Amino acid sequence: MENMESTVLEEIAFDGRPPFLRIYKDGRVERLVGTQIDVPPRIDSKTNVESKDTVYSQETTQYLRLYVPKNATSSSAQKLPLLVYFHDGAFFIGTASSPMRAPEHPIPITYHDSRYALKWLASHYGGNGHEKWLNRHVDFNKVYLSGDSAGDETKDPDKRAKIERFWRLVSPTTSGTDDPWINPFKDQSLASLVCSRVLVCVAEKDVLRHRGWYYCERLKKTEWKGEVEMMESKGEDHVFHLLELTCDSAMAKLKKVAAFMNQGP
């Protein structure tokens, strides 16, 4: 057994700790988490929300999942805001519905893929797009972009080395943690940021907490003319709202996001 373990360790060129994935010297990638079978699109009996998958890139066959309340109407006065959610996974883990992952597909491929998805969604603005659900149900004057789990800022040399190692895994040509692909404040003004409002949510025990606060404070000091709000969930850790969906902190965060969206663009 010891010989087998020794042989395996010698073959590993990168071994993530905690164990997210392994990359072997022969180029093989072994993902240790995020390989669960996807939940198929369906009607959720508890929430009465219907979902389906639709391809937005014929070239890469990439698809996204749409969700809509079953009782949604097609009346223009009752159309719904569009919330675009970019799931977590540090760019390299996820399920079969996330094939464009690093290191096989390094950054900026992921960003370009996201841009293609947004352009495809925008093609439905006039109500004549490919996807009927978007034409029928979405108010494109109320579009929100959301996501979680990206970036970190720490002075601890060991933690910083680990973060930089992961970043170089997903972006081999990076210039470091100040790379514009991960640090938007390389553009000091951000005057071109087109949204009018931003909500930043962090958790007290999350290693990414400081990066969230950093983003919020830096955004306030730029030439951007919008408004930024901050919410910190006390006593909680990384993506707690995905692990304990109905805990008090998760429900409070959900209400905050809903209130933010209900204020309008």
Backbone angles phi, psi at 197, to 5 degrees: -145, 145
Nearest to 85 by CA among 44, 114, 56: 114
At 65, which amino acid appears? R
The residues assigned a catalytic role are 149, 206, 238
Lowest mean pLDDT across 65-69, 114-118, 160-164: 160-164
Three-class secondary structure of residue 21 per DSSP = strand
CB within 8 Å of 215: residues ≥ 6 apart = 151, 184, 200
Q: What is the pLDDT of residue 152?
A: 52
Q: What is the predicted pLDDT for the residue at 5?
A: 46
Amino acid letter, 245: L
Determine the pLDDT at residue 228. 96
**Prediction pTM value:** 0.86
Q: Where are the beta strands (DSSP E) in 160-216?
A: 197-203
Q: Does residue 148 sit in helix, strand or coil?
A: coil
The closest alpha carbon to 162, from 56, 213, 231, 90, belongs to 90
Q: Using one digit for the tens of pLDDT, what is the confidence trace for 90-126?
A: 888 876 567 788 888 999 988 998 899 999 999 999 9
List the domain boundaries for the chain: 1-33, 37-147
Count of beta carbons in the 10 Å neighbourhood of residue 161: 11
Sheet hosting strand 21-24, strand order edge to edge: 12-15, 21-24, 29-31
pLDDT, average across residues 71-97: 80
Residue 226 has pLDDT above 90, yes or no: yes
Q: Residue 45 CB: number of other CB atoms within 10 A?
A: 7
* pLDDT reported for residue 110: 86
